[in-house]
Structure 1
Amino acid sequence: MAKTSPAEFINQVRAEGRKVVWPSREETVRTAIFVGIMMLILSLFFLGIDTLFGAVMRWLLSLA
């Protein structure tokens, strides 16, 4: 495997960095809103599941 000098490595990193396509502000905001909504939906779902399982476990333990 050929060794790469530090200067050549930096040049390669810069070249790859120029190829990156960054999202626009609108895309970033839209994605952040989507993530927030999904986080809320999933947190409510798991709260419901946890509450249901907790109630079932309390019921089962009350039988003992």
Structure 2
Amino acid sequence: MAKTSPAQFVQQVRTEAKKVSWPSRKETTVSTIMVFVMVALASVFFFVVDQLLAWGVQLIFGVGG
């Protein structure tokens, strides 16, 4: 494999950076809100599942909680 000089490397990085399509402010905001909503939903789901499993263990074995 041929070695690349630092100058060539920087030029290649600049060329590749020009090809990047950055999201708009609106797309970023919507994506961020959706991430927070999904995290909240997952948190509620896992909390409910955890409570049900804890209740089941307590019911069966009489320990915990």
TM-score by length of 2: 0.90
Shift of the alpha carbon at 1:50? 0.5
Aligned residues: percent identity?
44
Q: AA paired with 2:34? A: F
Q: Which residue of 2 aligns with 1:51?
A: 51
| Aligned pairs for 1:1-64 within 5 A | 1-62=1-62
Taking only aligned residues, the RMSD between alpha carbons, in angstroms, comes to: 1.3
Alpha-carbon separation, structure 2, partners of 1:40 and 1:62:
31
Shift of the alpha carbon at 1:60? 1.8
Structure 1 runs (4+) greater than 2 angstroms displaced: none
How many residue pairs get aligned? The number is 63
Shift of the alpha carbon at 1:15? 0.6
Q: Structure 2: any 5+ residue segments left out of the alignment?
A: none
> Higher relative contact order by CA 8 Å / sep ≥ 6: 1 or 2?
2
